[in-house]
Chains A and B, each alone.
With several copies, the nearest count.
Chain A
Amino acid sequence: MRVELALFGAFRQFDPGARIELELVNDARVADLRLAFAGYAAAHWPGFSPGLLARSAFASEREVLRESEPIPADRRVAVLPPVSGG
């Protein structure tokens, strides 16, 4: 399945549209998305830091997802680096 991944914060600098698409197996979980994203970033983004991804969460529009959860039905996920509001 094709997952649309929205990029926020420090991830924005790697992609002008702040949005990438990744192909995953049909029963993929969040942990699979994390691996696929790490591979994509390593292949496409010079200067990408795996440390940032390790501290980043994946979320739907409603909640932060656990690694073991399936990809949401609408296949739209956001990757959220550590937050710094306020």
Chain B
Amino acid sequence: MKQPASQVAISDIGRARLDPAAAIEFVSAPGFGGVSVFVGRVRDHNHGRAVTGVSYDLFDALALQRFAEIVREVEAEFGPALRLYVDHARGRLAVGDLAVLVAAGTPHRDEAFRACRALIEAVKHRAPIWKQEHYADGDSAWSEGCSLCHPDDPAADVDRPPRPAHTHAH
């Protein structure tokens, strides 16, 4: 292909917005009939509490490494006829703001849906990104999430998470 088949980015919310039209354009190609896009937005509530905003913290260098790794894995599974796009917001977002945007373009739609889903699942579970929710009552809390510890690493407590792994909706 003439241009890179994937693009990964972190967008500082103070300077740029996530742009679904740009994602669709990027993953398109004359031979591709299907584009699947996922947009994650800040919700106005979580676990029954009114949310006014969310701050996203990222370990930028490692996050971009992980995005690139994830893209290579999805390419290995669904490529080579595949274009991918990943963008995650950083900073304080208001309700309705776009937090994450992923897209996959492929010749047919089944691969597009599956590749897009694989992208967002991996970004959510494996990238060094943390979400702090701000509540209507002025309180705030960092969300619980997925441990990045190597699962076979004995020193870490990942065998005994406070709740069953990945059954929480995040």
Contacts and interface: CB of A to CB of B under 8 A. Distances in A.
B145 A83 contact: yes
B124 A55 contact: no
B153 A86 contact: no
A80 interface: yes
A55 B59 contact: no
A84 B150 contact: no
A10 B131 CA distance: 9
15 contacts: A12-B57, A34-B155, A54-B157, A55-B147, A55-B157, A56-B147, A62-B61, A64-B150, A66-B153, A78-B62, A78-B128, A82-B145, A82-B148, A84-B144, A86-B120
A31 B155 contact: yes
A81 B125 contact: no
Nearest to A6: B59
Contacts, number: 117
Interface string B73-116: 00000000000000010000000000110000000010000000
Given A8-B128, A51-B162, A55-B157, A85 B123 contact: yes
Q: Which 10 A-B pairs have the closest CB atoms?
A: A85-B129, A9-B130, A54-B157, A84-B145, A67-B155, A61-B61, A84-B143, A10-B142, A82-B145, A57-B148
Interface of A: 6, 8-10, 12-13, 30-31, 34, 51, 54-57, 59-64, 66-67, 78, 80-86
